[in-house]
Structure 1
Amino acid sequence: MYTCIAPQQPRCGCPPQPPPGQRIQPPADCRPGPIPPNPCVPKFPGKDTWQKYRNIVVFICFPLMFFQAFTALGHQTPSKTECREYEYMRRRTKRFPWGRTGTKSLFHNPRCNYLPGECGPPPLDCD
């Protein structure tokens, strides 16, 4: 635990008042000394803490990233299931700027995403 120390008193006293019109000169032995270290600044243990963080990145972060990439790339996308075309789904107010038809979004996957008009009509509400 660090404790802050109150500022120390100057080593030199105030010089006597000079006669009017004369400059004040400090005594010759009153020179500023080296600045002491601040006790309120936290001290970090060790000089080679970068090695600890390097080891954490190399032995923990990189293997976790490779494992996640392996599991994500090994995943199979689901096939298309039955779809109903409701009026609030797949609304297109203007064409996308890529592709010939402009109906496919940037991340369109033809194995699991439907385009407008591919789904059947919704069931009738007979209430």
Structure 2
Amino acid sequence: MFFWFCIVLCALAGCFVTTRDVMTGEPREVAVNGTRVVNAARFAVVEFNKANAEDVFAYKLSNISSAKIQVVAGINYILEVKISRTMCKTSVTTDGEPCIYHSEPKELQCHFIVTEVPWEDSRALTQNKCRLHNNCK
């Protein structure tokens, strides 16, 4: 069983690694517009909205400024993103994508880590640190 786990892990790591200099466990920069990165960022925002129930309005992804992956006992997506408040209520939305931005802007700069274990079909927001974005009132 452990042998197959190692084979799967190496195969998954091969999808991301393009140079010989990257070591397992070492975070590596990846394109911010890659499908897996964008999906991880959207998942993080949905989870952020669920955890941020005290805020009346939901947030949606505005920008991914940095993305790294780290192959551990799964894959960590280490993301620096900007999210913006929308007109949608937190209590009625699970995905902020169809929502329009709020007329009174509020932007947060967030550091998210999404941990994915593909062979267990699991994904979790394992780190969530947000602060008010500097350009906001």
TM-score over 0.5 for the pair: no
The TM-score normalised by the length of structure 2 is: 0.17
The TM-score normalised by the length of structure 1 is: 0.18
Higher helix share: 2
- Which structure has the bigger radius of gyration? 1
